Amino acid sequence: MGTSPQDVSVGFIGLGIMGEAMAGHLQAAGHPLHVSTRTKAKADRLLAKGANWHDGPGKLAAASDVVITMVGYPSDVEEVYLGKDGLVPHAKAGAVLIDMTTSSPNLAVRIAAEGAKRGVAVLDAPVSGGDVGAREARLSIMVGGDAAAFERVRTIFGTMGKTIMHQGGPGAGQHTKMANQIVIASTIVGVCEGLAYAKKTGLDPAKVLENIGGGAAGGFQLNVLGARMLKGDFGPGFYVHHFIKDLGIALDEAERHQIPLPGLAQAKGLFEKLAANGGRELGTQGLFTLYAG
């Protein structure tokens, strides 16, 4: 693989809330960028800056040294990687494929095995940091897969994130992301309940947020998403329906490993209630609407 960005062509599939910003950082760094997404209009800004459009994963893979995917659900990941027009069947020999979707650890293991049969390295590398982290190129990136392949693309990860760690073999990145989502699930419930309590007891919740945000309770969920809650800003930095997907994967894995996680189960139920009440397309901070009445 080339030593400068201009020598390493990168394909990017999935240009949503986070993906477009991530691909933009790679393009700005000088990588020849190849893109494909279900809705071509989402690629317009990148295409205007010189990105190359491809109709489908197969054609994109044939033109790319490294391919990154940021799609929605495990079923999407499976189709993009293993389908007839998928990345694995059409990737260049020696290419590195990187799935940054939050997906199933077992699927990550299976895709890596199929890639290995064709001499293609596949890394699972989900991220945390939301829309803000993607825009500011300071995502936390959790990587599973071949250690040598990870080292080959470390600088590419560094273009999109700040905390970048190889966690182990195939599936380890996804398991790490599950731990991340489990922590967030109960934390965001706590943020909603704390701010609702402040409001209902007659306090100024904005002043309370400023006060407790500087102490042990402080963190992204409280300081950033809590502030959005109080402003009534429930636009998506991360969609509720994607979070429910993640919590379902985490709960399935916890049950498979016989780990009781009652906080996770309760949070998943609350987010499902929010979705049933019309909140599927809200950001995760939209959970506050269940408490704000």
CA max distance for the chain: 64
Among this protein's residues, is 84 annotated catalytic?
no
Report the candidate in 128, 120, 199 with the shortest Cα–Cα distance to residue 162: 128
Check 42, 117, 162, 177 and give the catalytic one: 177
**C-alpha span between 63 and 49 (Å, rounded):** 18
Q: Is 21 left (phi over 0), alpha (psi -120 to 50) or beta?
A: alpha
**C-alpha span between 164 and 175 (Å, rounded):** 15
**C-alpha span between 158 and 144 (Å, rounded):** 16
**Which residue's entry shows tokens 């080339």?**
2
**C-alpha span between 109 and 98 (Å, rounded):** 13
Q: Which two tokens stand for residue 14?
A: 């999935």
DSSP state for residue 95 in the 8-state scheme: -
DSSP state for residue 4 in the 8-state scheme: S
Length of the chain measured in residues: 293
Catalytic residue IDs: 177
